[in-house]
Amino acid sequence: MLGKGVGGGGGGSRAPKPSFVSYVRPEEIHTNEKEAAEKEVTLHLLPGEQLLCEASTVLKCVQEDSCQRGVCGKLVCTDFKIAFLGDEPALEGDETQFKNKIVGANDITLHCVDQIYGVFDEKKKTLFGQLKRYPEKLIIHCKDLRVFHFCLRYTKEEEVKRIVSGIIHHTQSPKRLKRLFLFSYAAAAHSSTPASPQKHTVMFDTLEDWRGELERTRGNMKYKAVSVNEGYRVCERLPAYFAVPAPLPEDSVSRFQGHGVPIWCWSYHNGCALLKMSALPKEQDEAVLQTHRSFLDGVYRVIHRPPYEMVRTEDLSSNFLSLPDIQTAYSKFKQLFLIDNSAEFWDTDIKWFSLLESSSWLDIIRRCLKKAIEVAECLDAQSTNVLLVEENASDLCCLVSSLVQVMMDPHCRTRAGFQSLVQKEWVAGGHCFLDRCNHLRQSDKEEVPVFLLFLDCVWQLVRQHPPAFEFTETYLTVLSDSLYIPIFSTFFFNSPHQKETSTGGEGLDVPSAPLHLLTVWDWSVQFEPEAQTLLQNPLYVEKPKLDKSQRKGTHLKHQRQLSLPLTQSKSSPKRGFFREETDHLIKNLLGKRISKLINYSDELQDNFREFYDSWHSRAPDYHGLLLPHVEGPEVRVWAQRYLRWIPEAQIPGGGAGALASSLLGVMEEVRRLQERVGERPQPGAGAGAGAGTPGLPRSARLSSLFPFALLQRPSAKPLLPTSGWKALGGEDDLATREDEFVDLGEV
Partner 1 sequence: MASASTSKYNSHSLENESIKRTSRDGVNRDLSEAVPRLPGETRITDKEVIYICPFNGPIKGRVYITNYRLYLRSLETDSALLDVPLGVISRIEKMGGATSRGENSYGLDITCKDMRNLRFALKQEGHSRRDMFEILTRYAFPLAHSLPIFAFLNEEKFNVDGWMVYNPVEEYRRQGLPNHHWRITFINKCYELCDTYPPLLVVPFRATDEDLKRVATFRSRNRIPVLSWIHPENKTVIVRCSQPLVGMSGKRNKDDEKYLDVIRETNRQISKLTIYDARPSVNAVANKATGGGYESDDAYHNTELFFLDIHNIHVMRESLKKVKDIVYPNVEESHWLSSLESTHWLEHIKLILTGAIQVADKVSSGRSSVLVHCSDGWDRTAQLTSLAMLMLDSFYRSIEGFEILVQKEWISFGHKFASRIGHGDKNHADADRSPIFLQFIDCVWQMSKQFPTAFEFNERFLMTILDHLYSCRFGTFLYNCESARERQKVTERTASLWSLINSNKDTFKNPFYTKEINRVLYPVASMRHLELWVNYYIRWNPRIKQQPNPVEQRYMELLALRDEYIKRLEELQLANSAKLSDPSTSPSSPSQMLPHVQTHF
Which 329-348 positions form the footprint of partner 1 (CB under 8 A)? 345-346
Q: How many CA atoms lie within 13 A of 330 on its CB side?
A: 23
Nearer to partner 1, 391 or 668 (CB): 668
168 φ, ψ to 5°? -60, -45
Candidates 325, 347, 349, 583; binder of partner 1 (CB under 8 A) is: 349
Q: How many angstroms separate the CA atoms of 214 and 681, rounded?
A: 34
Sheet bearing 51-64, strands edge to edge: 107-109, 81-86, 67-78, 51-64, 147-151, 137-142, 113-120, 123-126
Span 521-560, contacts to partner 1 by CB under 8 A: 538-539, 541
Total length of the chain: 747
CB of 662 to partner 1, least distance (A): 5
Please report how close the Cβ of residue 355 comes to partner 1 at its closest, in angstroms: 9
Closer residue to partner 1, CB minimum distance, 302 or 658: 658
The packing angle between helices 450-464 and 396-408, to 10°, is 20
Beta strands in 219-373 (DSSP E): 223-226, 242-245, 263-267, 273-278, 311-315
| C-beta neighbour count of 560 within 10 angstroms | 17
Name which of 85 and 664 has its Cβ closer to partner 1.
Answer: 664
- Kindly write out the interface string for residues 668-687 of this chain, putting x where it contacts partner 1 by CB under 8 A and - elsewhere: xxx--xx-xxx------x--
**Beta carbon nearer to partner 1, 192 or 354:** 354
Pick one of 124, 305, 570, 737: the residue that binds partner 1 (CB under 8 A).
737
Give the C-alpha separation, 72 to 57, whole Å.
6
Q: Using the minimum distance from each CB to partner 1, give the nearer residue, 505 or 684.
A: 684
Contact pick of 249, 504, 514, 632 for partner 1 (by CB under 8 A): 632
Residue closer to partner 1 (CB basis): 310 or 637? 637
State which of residues 323, 350, 508, 597 lies at the interface with partner 1 (CB under 8 A).
350
- Shortest approach of partner 1 to residue 5 CB, angstroms? 35
Instruction: Dihedral sign for Cα 89, 94, 95, 100, please.
Output: negative
Minimum distance of partner 1 from residue 269's CB (angstroms)? 24
- In terms of CB distance, is 476 or 656 closer to partner 1? 656
DSSP 134-181: --SEEEEEETTS-EEEEE-TTS-HHHHHHHHHHHHHHHHS---GGGSH
Q: Tell me if residue 124 falls in helix, strand or coil.
A: strand
**Which residue in 260, 652, 694, 707 binds partner 1 (CB under 8 A)?**
652
For residue 630, state whether it binds partner 1 (rule: CB under 8 A).
Answer: yes
* Cα distances (angstroms) measured from residue 548 to each of 31, 200, 212, 565: 66, 21, 21, 22
Q: Could you tell me which residues are beta bridge partners of residue 225?
A: 243
**Under rule CB under 8 A, residue 616 binds partner 1:** yes
Q: Are 384 and 576 in contact (CB under 8 A)?
A: no
User: Per CB under 8 A, which of residues 690..709 are in contact with partner 1?
Assistant: 699-700, 704
**How near is the Cβ of 363 to partner 1 at its closest, in Å?**
5
Single residue of 467, 576, 624, 697 touching partner 1 by CB under 8 A: 467
Q: Is 746 in the site for partner 1 (CB under 8 A)?
A: yes
- Burial environment of residue 16 by CB neighbours within 10 A (0 to 12, 13 to 18, 19 or more): exposed
Annotate each residue in 125-164 with x if it binds partner 1 (CB under 8 A) or - if it does not, as one string.
----------------------------------------
Using CB under 8 A, which residues numbered 76 to 135 contact partner 1? none
Residue 246: CB minimum distance to partner 1, A: 41
Question: Does 602 help bind partner 1 (rule: CB under 8 A)?
Answer: no
Three-state DSSP at 511 gives coil
Nearer to partner 1, 12 or 647 (CB): 647
| Helix (H/G/I), strand (E/B), else coil: 245 | strand
Instruction: Between 97 and 568, name the residue whose CB sits nearer to partner 1.
Output: 97
Rule CB under 8 A: is residue 21 a binding residue for partner 1?
A: no
Q: At what angle do helices 323-335 and 450-464 cross, to 10 degrees?
A: 70
State the minimum distance, in angstroms, from the CB of residue 608 to partner 1: 13
> Which residues are CB-neighbours of 631 under 8 A, at least 6 positions away?
none
CA geometry: angle 646, 415, 681, nearest 5 deg: 105
Stretch that binds partner 1, among 147-155, 181-189, 379-387, 631-639 (CB under 8 A): 631-639
Which residue of 11, 104, 466, 576 would you call a contact of partner 1, by CB under 8 A? Answer: 466
Q: Does 566 bind partner 1 (CB under 8 A)?
A: no
Stretch that binds partner 1, among 4-12, 190-198, 560-568, 661-669 (CB under 8 A): 661-669
Which residues partner with 481 through β-bridges?
none
Query: Taking CB under 8 A as the criterion, which residues in 363-402 touch partner 1?
Result: 363, 366
Secondary structure element (H or E) that encloses residue 734, with its range: helix 732-735
- Nearer to partner 1 by Cβ, of 128 and 600: the residue is 600
Contact between 24 and partner 1 by CB under 8 A: the answer reads: no
